[in-house]
Amino acid sequence: MSRKKYKILLIAGLLVCTAAGIAPANDAVKIVRDGNRLYANGKFTEAISEYEKALAEDPRSAESGEPKFNEANSYYRLDDLDKAIDLYKAVAAESRNMKLVSAAKYNLGNCYFGRGIKQKDADLQKAVDDLQTAVAFWRSAVGGLSADGGEPKNEKAARNIEVARLTIKNIIDQLNKQKQQQEKQQQKQQQLGELLEKQKALTENTDKTNKQADSNSISQKDADEQYKQQANEQSAVKDKANEVLQQLQSAANGEPNSPQQQKKEQAAEDLKNAIENQKKAENQLNSSQGKAAKDTEEKAAENIEKALKNLSENNAQEQQQKQSAENGEQKSEPNKPSQQQHQQEPNEPQKQKMQQNAQRANAQDLLDKEQRQKEQRQKLQNAGKTKIEMDW
């Protein structure tokens, strides 16, 4: 074969290979266009299937990141924030289109902010973690940081960061308040436990004095003196019980008719009954009525024990409710988002320049919408209706 003939065959072979490479790319472009049309019509699940087909048809399209970015947008619209986060992260790591990388980081901020807001009623600490992550992604979004290393040049990102920081501050305040309330609850339980032990000890002393008097082990005069001393001790325990009662009554201000509120109110009522019996036992001891005082002191101990049980059950219910809310949040199905929430819309792979005026979510809008949804859920709950789902 001549040198000239070999050269012609080689070029022909290259042309065949090049044409074979172009065909999948063109097919992928068409598939993505189909996905974009489905997306525009609100058929996000169907759009996802098309974007996945495009990636399977031409794996090299992952380098541009656009099919995967559009797929992430679709999951975001379906409120499946976890899947959207995974895909946006992949775009930020794999795409060679720096503008698309910046858009992915911006939308990652939106995702983490939205997920953090949802976590507020279930786990305040997780909410703070997600919101702080949102701030980090917004700071690395379009434009980067300012020359002095301060706020991002992108004004929308800067506003979102400010909203997120205020939200984080409010949540941290709630965390501190929640911690204080938990400490107070534990303190009340501890105080009731100490009251119970003291009341039982008083009952045993009264019974001992009574038996000694009956068996003439001590004189009546000595018994009377011991009863007087025990009456003073009973008075001191009663005063302490009154202090705990005031704390319980001030804390019993939750939602009416809720199980937790009922337990708090019952604990306060049990302690109130205990105080009445303590007062009665004190009078009986001052009158040297040993047997009657012992029976009354036993009733007081039973009342305190009931109060302690109700308060412990209240604390357990609050913890269980928090855990249930967290599990419910984690298991909740994606819901159809409202049209008020926006993010950068899908772009067709063949477009080299991204639309600069693409709509994006605003943190304050998300926060305001969540507040409206929360108020609506509370109204429906108070009316005895089924709790509505969040509509992002």
CA dist., res. 307 & res. 272, Å (int): 9
Examine the domain organization and report whether 209 and 261 are in the same domain: yes
- Cβ atoms of residues 57 and 31 within 8 Å: yes
- Cβ atoms of residues 283 and 216 within 8 Å: no
Residue at 392 is within a domain = no
* Beta carbons within 10 angstroms of residue 222's beta carbon: 13
Residue at 191 is within a domain = yes
Examine the domain organization and report whether 87 and 48 are in the same domain: yes
Domain limit, last residue, from 293, 312, 331: 331
Domain total in the chain: 2
* Beta carbons within 10 angstroms of residue 351's beta carbon: 9
Q: Strand, helix or coil at 288?
A: coil
- Read off the amino acid at residue 184: K
For residue 43, give its domain range: 3-153+339-382
Residue at 60 is within a domain = yes
Examine the domain organization and report whether 301 and 352 are in the same domain: no
Examine the domain organization and report whether 52 and 87 are in the same domain: yes
Residue at 143 is within a domain = yes
Structure tokens at 280: 């009665």
Domain CATH code at residue 133: 1.25.40.10
Residue at 390 is within a domain = no
Query: What sign does the dihedral 106-107-112-118 (CA atoms) show?
Result: positive
- Read off the amino acid at residue 305: E
Structure tokens at 274: 């205990």
Spatial CA neighbour of 267 closest among 319, 189, 339: 189
Examine the domain organization and report whether 284 and 352 are in the same domain: no
Examine the domain organization and report whether 119 and 13 are in the same domain: yes
Residue at 255 is within a domain = yes
Examine the domain organization and report whether 217 and 243 are in the same domain: yes
Examine the domain organization and report whether 145 and 245 are in the same domain: no
Residue at 24 is within a domain = yes
Output the pTM of the full model: 0.55
Examine the domain organization and report whether 307 and 363 are in the same domain: no
Q: Which residue has the tokens 């320049």?
A: 353
User: What separation in angstroms does the CA of 266 have from each of 225, 253, 301, 335, 341?
Assistant: 37, 13, 16, 40, 46
Examine the domain organization and report whether 190 and 128 are in the same domain: no
Print the SS3 string covering 138-182.
HHCCCCCECCCCCCECCHHHHHHHHHHHHHHHHHHHHHHHHHHHH
Residue at 172 is within a domain = no
Examine the domain organization and report whether 364 and 299 are in the same domain: no
Domain limit, last residue, from 331, 349, 370: 331
Task: From first to last of the 392 residues of the chain, give the pLDDT tens digit.
Answer: 444 433 323 222 222 333 334 445 678 889 999 999 999 999 999 999 999 999 998 887 767 788 999 999 999 999 999 999 999 999 999 888 888 999 999 999 999 999 999 988 788 889 999 999 999 999 887 554 433 434 445 788 888 999 999 999 999 898 888 888 888 888 888 989 999 999 999 999 999 999 999 999 999 999 999 999 999 999 999 999 999 999 888 766 655 566 777 888 899 999 999 999 999 999 999 999 999 999 999 999 999 999 999 888 877 666 655 555 444 443 333 333 322 333 454 443 323 333 333 334 566 666 666 666 666 656 655 544 333 232 22
Examine the domain organization and report whether 207 and 189 are in the same domain: yes
Phi, psi (degrees; rounded to nearest 5) at 368: -65, -40
